[in-house]
Homo-oligomer: A and B are copies of this chain.
Amino acid sequence: MTLDHARRLDAADPLASFRTRFLLPEGLTYLDGNSLGPLTISGRDALAAATERWSRRLIGGWNEDWIAMASRVAARLAPLLGALEEEVLIGSDTSTNLFRLAHAAAEIAPDRTDIVTDDLNFPSDRYVLEGIAKGLGRRVQVVRSTDGIHADEGAIMGEITDRTSFVCLSMVAYRTGYLYDVPTITDHAHRHGALVLWDLSHAAGVVPIHLDAWKVDLAVGCTYKYLNGGPGAPAYLYVRRDLQGRLRNPVQGWFGHADPFSMVEDYAPSPGVRRFSSGTPPILSLAPVDGGVQPTVEAGVARVREKSVALTIAFVEEVERILVSLGFSIQSPCDPARRGSHVSLGHPYALAVSRCLVAERAVVPDFRPPNVLRFGFAPLYNRFEDMVRAIEQTAEVVRTGAYEPYLAARPFVP
């Protein structure tokens, strides 16, 4: 694809105008929205309003606005997850949210000793599961991918038995972009009486999600990737309505109390999803999430997905045409129906190439150890032009040996 061809596609793109909603530096080809989405204009304004409110209204800010902020954001987020507003909670980080839900799931079935996950799941999610297994005397079963790219969904389902407490997987694998068949695995787990807990961090905002229709039990996810919430922005969690009353939040905090402002002596959990709240939410980090989610809600995930698929298909074609002969291998599923919105490329000098692209070429992919470059496509601001530029610059950096000065670089990526 030439730059001209890419620009014609961009000119015809029905989502093109959404790019103006983001504060992106001039000339930057940013393909790391799957790690940290950009600041939106609406997010910037929401943050400014919260800061101004703090300075002018002080404690009064809580009653005026902040106490309702988390539920306002949850209400905006819910349709992106295919969930009801009263099934979504926002606050805390993804690991802590995962801990709370996974601990609750393990606790209600003390005779079910096994937790099933796989090696494509986030290491961070696996750390949380290991911790719960250690605390409660459970066992984590890690199903291996056969090729390191595709999940072995058959093997995962084969591991699910009447001893399985719950299955915890990432809907889109952070490293390879593999997109799971959520309803089939969910159904299968339910037939064995197990619960499912999906991490949606790399899926929400770019892949259609129908938690209610799929009868998913539990889910978590972060808001700082395709949802543009900001660095370390509060994460969300989902608990299916009919499950809420049965699950216990191990971190019994006052924001999860049935009547938090009564400050009574004894804990009584909120009957709804709010029981999974613990402490006071971080307002300044929460404020831009509402604004960050807004463009995606307006565009609609179906349209976002359509453009995402077109972008990753074109990217994979260009990789095959230009980059494979330069030592790159595709580390993501080739079938777009099995792929999220990022594409991973293996290269022996992936770290040095990524450093050179960022430092000298104004192209920002990200690096995942040991040797993977991830190119994330966020269709509300990434254009076909960005895709072509990334291919061109990556090819040039390798062809010219421009990456060589970066070979001694140490990885350091959050």
A202 to B: closest C-beta gap in Å: 14
* Known contacts A30-B58, A364-B58; A135/B250 CB under 8 A: yes
Q: How far is the CA of A143 from the CA of B96 in the complex (A)?
A: 31
| Residue A161 is within 8 A (CB to CB) of chain B in the complex | no
Interface bracket on A: 35 or more
Pick the residue among B231, B286, B358 that contacts A283 (CB under 8 A).
B231
Q: Which of A126-134, A178-186, A208-216 contacts its partner?
A: A126-134
Report the Cα distance A405→B134, complex, angstroms: 57
Give the docked Cα–Cα distance between A225 and B389 (Å).
Answer: 49
In the assembled complex, how far is the CB of residue A349 from the closest CB belonging to chain B, in whole angstroms?
Answer: 18
Give complex CA distance A380, B47 in Å.
Answer: 26
Residues of B within 8 A of A67 (CB): 412, 414
Please determine whether A279 and B55 come into contact, CB atoms closer than 8 angstroms: no
Q: Which residue of B lies closest to A369 (CB)?
A: B263
Q: Which one of B95, B134, B282 contacts A279 once the chains associate, using CB atoms below 8 Å?
A: B95
| A19 interfacial by beta-carbon distance below 8 Å | no
Q: Is the CB of B58 within 8 A of A36?
A: yes
Is A361 located at the chain interface by the 8 A CB criterion? no
17 contacts between A and B (CB under 8 A): A35-B59, A38-B58, A59-B364, A59-B413, A66-B414, A95-B251, A95-B253, A95-B255, A95-B278, A99-B250, A123-B264, A127-B256, A130-B252, A142-B265, A232-B281, A280-B414, A284-B288
